[in-house]
């Protein structure tokens, strides 16, 4: 521990995965927010600066020259240099690599291009909601929140329908890989790569890489109106995605487009059931759908933190940071910062000026899929309104033991009211 770290109070533990089985440790995060300057959080043999105030998260997010995504890793733990290189995708790069990669794919995710997928999102949502309503009760995660985003992203990528179940299976193994237990052996799916070189240490990543490469090859020969075709054809000033860039990006899209939105749709449904006065407000005034969507994203905070590493010695909130130290932004704290959000633990479907950081605190890495995620939450709300669907939560959810994704493994819900369509 250096002198600067000794001078500050140690943060209460917010990384222990077991804490998250009972939800975000809001009390501990609030304590860190109230600590003057930054608090040093021990982690493994070292530690990190815990950045918990809304204003400080924004400063770190926007200063990518000082706070690097490419040095080390964007998760808490460090990776060996070869593992970092093998896994590196858009999210773990800095300018100019980041600018180049992001420019190659950004066009596919603009509001205009995402809007083209609205009918697909609606068709999938309608099918799942109607099935849930017909059954009357069940695991909302399994029946609605999990299948919706994965079906959407597979459709957009152009994965043939007959392969969808296989890809859903792979993506579920990846989600499992964010926790501490894996249910498949290292050589599953014919994997021969050392697990430490694969995203989430999962053999399912190997299978996903292989699948992505095969699909890209097909689309090069036979272009279609889908995202994989757009990615293999993406060109900017003569520049194209290289094979390993494509493979890591395909992997990132399947994962990022899946687990995060699933989490938003799970916490969203629980909030609508438990704050029934707020859902009634939306049912009687559908103009509140946009603000309810943003409130669901704030409330859910599906990604709870992202790490950066100080490129040079710097200072934040009056605390000296040394070059090479880890700086971790806690969105799960910033989104409940009482200096920014009035009554932050109240779910307010009409909340105005909702400057949440569910998609990051701004800056170059701001979530590429934000418009798509918003579209999925919005369409779900619109289709629930059409059906006058009122949900009840039956018992506690089973939460993921993860300090990274605010995951819900299962939650039993019932339809209290629903009108036939």
Q: List interacting residues with ligand HEM (CB under 6 A).
A: 61, 90-91, 102, 153, 252-253, 256-257, 260-261, 264, 297, 302-303, 306, 358-360, 363, 365-369, 372-373
Place of tokens 């980041």: 98
Token reading at 278:
């707020």
Our CB check for ligand HEM shows the closer of 219 and 374 to be 374
Our CB check for ligand HEM shows the closer of 260 and 278 to be 260
**Smallest separation, CB 15 to ligand HEM (Å):** 17
Pick the closest to residue 373 from 272, 288, 269, 259 (CA basis): 259
**Smallest separation, CB 356 to ligand HEM (Å):** 10
Our CB check for ligand HEM shows the closer of 208 and 303 to be 303
Contact 230, 108 (CB under 8 A): yes
Our CB check for ligand HEM shows the closer of 279 and 371 to be 371
Give the whole-angstrom CA distance, residue 370 versus residue 46: 33
The answer for residues whose C-beta is within 8 angstroms of residue 299's C-beta and 6 or more apart is 267, 268, 271, 347
With CB atoms as reference, the residue minimizing the distance to ligand HEM is 369
Our CB check for ligand HEM shows the closer of 202 and 261 to be 261
**Smallest separation, CB 326 to ligand HEM (Å):** 14
Which H or E element spans position 111?
helix 111-115
Pick the closest to residue 399 from 387, 389, 391, 411 (CA basis): 411
**Smallest separation, CB 249 to ligand HEM (Å):** 7
Pick the closest to residue 390 from 97, 133, 23 (CA basis): 133
Give the whole-angstrom CA distance, residue 306 versus residue 329: 5
**Smallest separation, CB 125 to ligand HEM (Å):** 14
**Smallest separation, CB 186 to ligand HEM (Å):** 27
Our CB check for ligand HEM shows the closer of 51 and 153 to be 153
């Amino acid at each position: 521990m250096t002198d600067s770290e000794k001078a500050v109070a140690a943060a209460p533990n917010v990384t222990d995965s077991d804490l998250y089985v009972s939800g975000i440790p809001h009390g501990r995060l609030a304590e860190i927010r109230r600590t003057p300057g930054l608090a040093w959080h021990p982690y493994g043999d070292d530690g990190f600066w815990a950045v918990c105030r809304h204003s400080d998260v924004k400063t770190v997010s926007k200063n990518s020259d000082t706070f690097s995504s490419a040095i080390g890793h964007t998760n808490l733990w460090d990776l060996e240099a070869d593992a970092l290189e093998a896994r590196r995708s858009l999210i773990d790069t800095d300018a100019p690599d980041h600018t180049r990669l992001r420019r190659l794919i950004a066009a596919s995710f603009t509001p205009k291009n995402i809007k083209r997928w609205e009918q697909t999102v609606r068709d999938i949502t309608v099918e799942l909601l109607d099935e849930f309503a017909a059954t009357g009760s069940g695991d909302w995660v399994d029946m609605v929140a999990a299948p919706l985003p994965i079906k959407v992203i597979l459709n957009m990528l152009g994965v043939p329908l007959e392969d969808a179940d296989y890809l859903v299976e792979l993506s579920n193994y990846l989600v499992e890989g964010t926790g501490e237990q894996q249910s498949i052996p290292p050589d599953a799916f014919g994997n021969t790569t050392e697990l430490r070189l694969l995203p989430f240490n999962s053999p399912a990543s190997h299978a996903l890489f292989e699948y992505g490469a095969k699909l890209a090859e097909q689309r090069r020969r036979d272009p279609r109106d889908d995202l994989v075709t757009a990615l293999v054809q993406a060109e900017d000033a003569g520049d194209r995605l290289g094979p390993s860039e494509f493979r890591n990006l395909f992997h990132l899209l399947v994962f990022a487009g899946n687990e995060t939105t699933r989490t938003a749709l799970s916490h969203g449904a629980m909030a609508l059931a438990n704050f029934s006065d707020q859902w009634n407000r939306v049912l009687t005034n559908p103009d509140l759908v946009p603000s309810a969507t943003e409130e669901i994203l704030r409330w859910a905070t599906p990604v709870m933190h992202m790490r950066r590493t100080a490129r040079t010695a710097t200072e934040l909130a009056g605390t000296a940071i040394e070059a090479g130290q880890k700086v971790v932004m806690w969105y799960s704290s910033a989104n409940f910062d009482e200096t920014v959000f009035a009554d932050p633990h109240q779910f307010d479907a009409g909340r105005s000026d909702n400057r949440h950081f569910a998609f990051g605190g701004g800056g170059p890495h701001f979530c590429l899929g934000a418009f798509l995620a918003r579209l999925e939450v919005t369409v779900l709300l619109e289709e629930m309104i059409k059906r006058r669907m009122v949900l009840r939560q039956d018992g506690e959810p089973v939460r993921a033991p993860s300090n990274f994704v605010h995951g819900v493994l299962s939650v039993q819900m019932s339809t209290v009211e629903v009108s036939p369509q």
